[in-house]
Amino acid sequence: MKNTVLFLIKTYNVIKSWIKANDVEGVLGLLVGIVALIFGYNVAAGTAFGIFGTKNYMILKNYIVKKAQETLSKYEINDVE
């Protein structure tokens, strides 16, 4: 039971941090994309999913750059942007 509660708390924190990182544009892009797809508006759904994908790409890119800079700073290499 304790492991289940810990898992749910970790899952909740991951989802909460993802929503904060995605901001309004990313979350609304996902929701509008799903609704538009359900109602058959394929172009609108594609646009909304494109916004959603762009926001997630930026989050992933910033995470990778941050980790790369942390790794390079361990070896005192500071000339990478």
Domain boundaries, the chain: 2-74
Please report, for residues 27, 37, 52, 54, the alpha-carbon distance to residue 42 in angstroms, rounded to integers and kept in the order given: 18, 6, 15, 18
pLDDT for the residue numbered 78: 61
- Per the CB < 8 A criterion, the answer to whether 78 and 72 are in contact is yes
Mean pLDDT (the chain) is: 87
Residue 68 neighbours by CB under 8 Å, 6+ apart:
80
What are the helix and strand counts (H, E) for the chain?
Answer: 2, 0
pLDDT band at 23 (very low <50, low <70, confident <90, very high): confident
